[in-house]
């Protein structure tokens, strides 16, 4: 009995040919702009390097 339900479950997940073209056209429309995120990540990285350098310098002084 359980094998029959698994087979029906697997068949339900298959994508027909018509819906695949709809999915492809939707993925073409989604084009986010991450320029602000990249700029923020660069700023965070630069600050991390500066703070790490300050810690290294303080380790020699103290």
More confident of the two residues 44 and 16: 44
pTM (two decimals): 0.50
Q: In Å, what is the CA distance from 16 to each residue of 4, 6, 24?
A: 21, 19, 13
Q: Which DSSP letter does residue 1 get?
A: -
Domain that holds residue 34: 2-61
Q: Higher pLDDT residue, 36 or 27?
A: 36
Question: How many separate domains does the chain show?
Answer: 1
Query: Tell me, what's the pLDDT at 37?
Result: 97
- Please tell me the predicted confidence (pLDDT) of residue 30: 87
In tens, the pLDDT along 33-55 reads 999 999 999 999 999 999 999 99
d(CA 42, CA 49) in angstroms, rounded, equals 11
């Amino acid at each position: 009995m359980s094998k029959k339900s698994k087979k029906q479950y697997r068949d339900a997940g298959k994508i027909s040919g018509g819906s695949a073209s709809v999915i492809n056209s939707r993925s073409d429309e989604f084009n986010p702009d991450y320029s602000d995120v990249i700029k923020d990540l660069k700023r965070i990285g630069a600050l991390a390097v500066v703070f790490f350098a300050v810690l290294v310098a303080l380790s020699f002084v103290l």
